């Protein structure tokens, strides 16, 4: 039996209630073991078709990147995480970015964001003619425990922007 968002919401709300004090005390190792993860038995893959040299690509990372001079940092203290996303332009440089994600070591990503947000590598593929083009806008999210809101609100909004830009292939990179 697959897990529905409604079933997840109920289990998630129970988890938050039971785990909030431990989370606030910084004891995340044990509460993560109790998190009501969704295990999908029906992964909705869309097979890639066509010639990459004719397609437009975009990148989405869960690395918690944001434009430090013009966007707010992601919320990093809530047990729910932050269900919002940040739009990152194709022309972004390392110096333009900061990271707000409390659950991984940022050291290497601060040296080269391409390790978890390979935007410049895609631009190189575009220059070499291997892919058709790189979208003007790319996306970053941070950690999220509130999967129901992510699925119901955030992802549809992000996908609307991606579709408006005519993206054919989306490259998802977890942090």
pLDDT per residue, tens digit, the chain (175 aa), is 356 788 889 999 999 999 999 999 988 888 999 999 877 777 777 788 899 999 999 999 999 999 999 999 999 999 999 999 999 999 999 999 999 999 999 999 999 999 999 999 999 999 999 999 999 999 999 999 999 999 999 999 999 999 999 999 999 999 8
Structural domain including 5 reads: 1-45
37 plus 67 within the same structural domain: no
79 plus 129 within the same structural domain: yes
Phi, psi dihedral angles at 86 (to 5 degrees): -120, 140
145 plus 121 within the same structural domain: yes
Residue 12's Cβ-count burial label (10 Å; 0-12, 13-18, 19+) is buried
96 plus 59 within the same structural domain: yes
65 plus 30 within the same structural domain: no
The residue from 45, 62, 80 where one domain ends is: 45
For the chain, how are helix, strand and coil distributed in percent, rounded to 5?
40, 15, 45
89 plus 155 within the same structural domain: yes
Tell me, what's the pLDDT at 2?
Answer: 53
32 plus 68 within the same structural domain: no
Tell me, what's the pLDDT at 47?
Answer: 82
166 plus 112 within the same structural domain: yes
165 plus 80 within the same structural domain: yes
99 plus 167 within the same structural domain: yes
Tell me, what's the pLDDT at 86?
Answer: 98
62 plus 128 within the same structural domain: yes
Give the span between the Cα atoms of 162 and 1, in whole angstroms.
31
Question: What is the total count of domains within the chain?
Answer: 2
Question: Comparing C-alpha atoms, which of 37, 45, 44, 42 is closest to residue 1?
Answer: 42
Tell me, what's the pLDDT at 3?
Answer: 60
66 plus 89 within the same structural domain: yes
């Amino acid at each position: 039996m697959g897990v529905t968002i409604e079933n997840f919401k109920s289990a998630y709300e129970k988890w938050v209630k039971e785990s909030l004090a431990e989370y606030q005390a910084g004891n995340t190792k044990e509460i993560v073991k109790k998190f009501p993860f969704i295990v999908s038995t029906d992964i909705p893959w869309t097979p890639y078709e066509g010639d990459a040299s004719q397609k437009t690509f975009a990148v989405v990372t869960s690395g918690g990147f944001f434009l430090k001079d013009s966007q707010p940092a992601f919320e990093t203290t809530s047990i729910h995480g932050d269900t919002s996303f940040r739009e990152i332009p194709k022309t972004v440089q390392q110096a333009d970015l900061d990271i707000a994600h409390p659950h991984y070591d940022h050291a290497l990503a601060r040296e080269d964001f391409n390790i978890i947000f390979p935007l410049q590598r895609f631009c190189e593929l575009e220059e070499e003619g291997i892919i058709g083009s790189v979208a003007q806008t790319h996306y970053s999210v941070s950690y999220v425990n509130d999967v129901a809101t992510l699925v119901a609100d955030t992802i549809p909004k992000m996908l609307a922007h991606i579709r408006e830009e005519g993206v054919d292939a989306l490259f998802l990179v977890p942090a």
